[in-house]
Structure 1
Amino acid sequence: MQEPVRWGVLGAANFAREQMARAIHMAEGADLVALATSDPAKAEGFRAFQPRLRVHDSYEALLADPEVEAIYIPLPNHLHVEWTIRAAEAGKHVLCEKPIAMAEEEFDRLIAARDRAGVLVAEAYMIVHHPQWQRARELVQGGAIGALRHVDAAFSYHLTDMGNIRNRPETGGGSLPDIGVYTFGSTRFVTGEEPEAIEHAHVRRENGVDVFAHVVARFPSFTWSGFTAMRMAPRQEVVFHGERGVLRVAPAPFNAGVHDLAQLTIEIGHERRTERWPTANHYVLQVEAFGRSLREGVPYPCPLEWSRGTQRMIDMVLAAERGRA
């Protein structure tokens, strides 16, 4: 039996405590062994499900821990590149929360650091590990709805806490970096295509961050329209519209099991079929895929080169917004 990958968590973020640290603890082939936080009270929330957790009082101490092989980074967006590179330079494999970078050119540094250290570095883009998205890709690329002609995507939530990092420009806030990675990246994953042009970008900002972005884009074989919002009622949906049928990934394409049930529906004429995955946990599946890459050499499905394409589309939208100013 292979040794489990020994994980450390760099920072006691709420999301790490509630989702990813638990996923590491639950995943096959993974062992959550360490946490870095200067606040002992925050560590207790992690020790509630992993009592033997070692707690370091600094990020540097965690990176120096010889027992830790892989680092999960849930820090605010503006710190992702710095600490990903520092972890790689310390010889650690890295799974960093999305967006792993704030601009496409930052991927040059990330890829160079990964290659110098000979480690696996990836963005924690969990949805590609979920069977609902793997099935969506299989159906669309397999021609189940005929030639794809258009994609609609929506992701919104209502966040008015101005102290939240998503509402603060200095921490890399905004709807595009936070959830544009989903509306853009899911389309790229399912179709295998990259955007050719942004034809429309209407962005509304508050406090220096985008709180609404409506985008129209052109891909090689289909058109795309969608929005992200941080001041609207929660909604999640992606619709792939082909010549023969329609495929809907809803009501929880992005927060499956948290926002709602993971399912997709395919409509061909008057026939409708729904497939559901009530128990799949994409966070656990993500950790297990990372471990297989390390222990078995299985190619990781979401390498930095792929994640770079989503950031490129975000950058294209921001460039189009500036062109309208």
Structure 2
Amino acid sequence: MRVIRWGILGASKFAREHMGPAIHAARGARVEALATSSPDKAAAFEALFPGIRVHPSYDAMLADPQIDAIYIPLPNTLHVEWSLKAMKAGKAVLCEKPMTMEATEFDSLIAARDAAGVLAAEAYMVVQHPQWLRTRELIADGAIGPLHQVHGAFSYNNRADVKNIRNLAEMGGGAIRDIGVYPIGTTRFATGEEPEEISAQITYENGVDVLSRTQARFPSFHFSMLLSTRLAPYQEMTFHGESGLLRLAYPFNANVHGEARLDLIRPDGSILTERWPGLNQYVVQVEAFGESLRDGVPYPCPLEFSVGTQVMIDRMFAADPG
């Protein structure tokens, strides 16, 4: 098996704690290089990945001929710029979400991907987790009957972390871009539908959205969503049909903050539970990316899917009456 040689563009905490180790653990993948100008941040990665090459600049990383794929965990406002540069350098790209600040920016990314003939995708790992594949299958098979209501909630509280990029408007921070992608994208993935009408009420602090309530009408069901970076940590998704309900208790940070579990609640009150203990969805993501890069297997989350989630985010911001 050809080993995909990865470079990480920026020494983020998430890359150090999650994606770097996931690349290291994935079959057919290896962390080869890191781009950072910070000796302290580089040292933390060198301790995790002995022998890793450290480039002092992002451009130096892209010029490295021994790198096949670039993982980009930079602030949101830098995603498009460095994804385009990486593709122009002939590198495959896996970029953190949201990959763009506006949906129209996907046009340039798709054009660059096609022109360079490389694989490029948003790091949207959840749709590759079997709990979401199973959710989509159960809905399609009619396990809960006709779907009427979908509700998603995702929150955490980072009020005290004032320097966090998620609290900085100039870095593209805010709850909607950081965590709204999850209820939105998984609903689109599980149902195969796109919203027809959207309303939203958004609360801002220092130019960053910290609380939002959204309602949307899809062709065959209604959708509601609560997001916040000022509430106690919580996440859940429910799909409510005429003859049953699907509930995912840890739908987004599976096996990080809680066990991946899917409950099918039947009309008689009985519950069929499926669990996926220990599965690392970041590893699954890296392996799927590698299979696509090596063997041409269609990637489960192409840019064409990701643009739909960003369209809904753009419409939420536009719908807020405030």
- TM-score, length-normalised on structure 2? 0.98
- 2:48 is paired with a residue whose SS is coil
- 2:103 is paired with a residue whose SS is coil
Q: Which residue pairs with 1:159 in the alignment?
A: 158
- Measure, in 2, the Cα distance between the counterparts of 1:117 and 1:127: 27
- Measure, in 2, the Cα distance between the counterparts of 1:130 and 1:207: 35
Q: Which residue pairs with 2:171 in the alignment?
A: 171
Q: Which residue pairs with 1:310 in the alignment?
A: 309
- Measure, in 2, the Cα distance between the counterparts of 1:190 and 1:70: 29
- Measure, in 1, the Cα distance between the counterparts of 2:314 and 2:279: 32
The one-letter code matched in structure 1 to 2:247 is R
Q: Which residue pairs with 1:258 in the alignment?
A: 256
Q: Which residue pairs with 1:141 in the alignment?
A: 140
The offset of 1:140, in angstroms, is 1.1
Q: Which residue pairs with 2:29 in the alignment?
A: 30
1:116 and 2:86 aligned: no
The offset of 1:274, in angstroms, is 1.0
1:185 and 2:185 aligned: yes
The offset of 1:60, in angstroms, is 0.5
Gaps of 5+ in 2: none
The offset of 1:44, in angstroms, is 1.9
Alpha carbon RMSD of aligned pairs, Å? 0.7
The offset of 1:39, in angstroms, is 1.2
Given that 1:131 and 1:280 are in contact with CA atoms closer than 8 Å, whether structure 2 keeps it comes out as no
Moved beyond 6 Å, runs of 4+: none
The offset of 1:162, in angstroms, is 1.4
Gaps of 5+ in 1: none
- TM-score, length-normalised on structure 1? 0.97
The one-letter code matched in structure 2 to 1:253 is P
Percent sequence identity over aligned pairs: 61
The one-letter code matched in structure 2 to 1:59 is Y
Q: Which residue pairs with 2:214 in the alignment?
A: 215
The offset of 1:48, in angstroms, is 2.0
The offset of 1:46, in angstroms, is 1.5
- Measure, in 1, the Cα distance between the counterparts of 2:246 and 2:18: 29
| 1:140-175: CA deviation from partner (whole Å, max 9, x where unpaired) | 111111111110100000011111100110000011
The one-letter code matched in structure 2 to 1:175 is A
| 1:54-84: CA deviation from partner (whole Å, max 9, x where unpaired) | 1111100000000001000000000000000
The one-letter code matched in structure 2 to 1:58 is S
1:197 and 2:197 aligned: yes
Aligned residues: 320
The offset of 1:98, in angstroms, is 0.3
